[in-house]
């Protein structure tokens, strides 16, 4: 894809940290570059787990050379232990981006769901299905952490992360058109 924006999406987690790289063209069409999960063992001390996540993200950055990093913004959860690990993994992703001089941005789960499906309360299956459609994949991306990382990358590119909408909006999906309309309405 000529003049595509390459985005690394990171769905932070201590045990499974989803990573997905997409190229998004100016007409907002997208293609899959890489998808995977960086894992760390719950048996390791926290500093070793965070190191493993950092090394995994660095490896993706080295291999795929994205232009920007998009990370899920950590939201309050009922389980404090879970939110703490997610926040730590998020901080690692942001730190590694800064080490490489890459811009990094965060997006809430609702923003990502709305950008991908047109509905901010979409379930995981709906997000996976839309990611598969947008990227023209034969199967749903698995596990859900990996699909969420791809959704983050797409969300960032479509929300003004560098890929401009096509003239006249003709190449936009219905979800993309709904998102663009909502953004225009919010600016009024």
Query: Where in the sequence numbering do the catalytic residues fall?
Result: 11, 72, 145
Query: Which of 70, 176, 114 lies closest to 122 in space, CA to CA?
Result: 114
- Structural contact between residues 22 and 30, judged by C-beta atoms closer than 8 angstroms: yes
Residue in 172, 173, 162 with CA at minimum distance from that of residue 6? 162
Residue 5 is inside which H or E element, if any? strand 5-11
What is the number of H-type helices and E-type strands within the chain?
Answer: 6, 5
Count of C-beta atoms within a 10 Å radius of residue 164: 11
């Amino acid at each position: 894809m000529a003049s595509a924006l390459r985005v690394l999406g990171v769905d932070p987690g201590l045990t499974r940290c989803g990573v997905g790289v997409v190229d998004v063209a100016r007409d907002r069409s997208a293609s899959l570059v890489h998808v995977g999960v960086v894992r760390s063992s719950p048996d390791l001390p926290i500093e070793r787990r965070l190191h493993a996540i950092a090394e995994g993200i660095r490896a993706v950055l080295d291999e795929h050379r994205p232009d920007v990093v998009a990370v899920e913004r950590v939201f309050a959860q009922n389980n404090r232990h879970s939110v703490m690990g997610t926040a730590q993994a998020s901080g690692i992703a942001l730190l590694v981006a800064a080490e490489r001089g890459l811009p990094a941005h965060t997006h809430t789960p609702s923003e990502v769901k709305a950008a991908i499906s047109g509905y901010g309360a979409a379930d995981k299956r709906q997000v996976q299905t839309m990611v598969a459609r947008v990227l023209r994949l034969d199967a749903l991306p698995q596990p859900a952490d990996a699909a969420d990382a791809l959704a983050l990358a797409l969300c960032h590119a479509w929300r003004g992360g560098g890929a401009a909408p096509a003239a006249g909006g003709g190449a936009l999906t219905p979800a993309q058109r709904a998102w663009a309309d909502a953004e225009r309405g919010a600016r009024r």
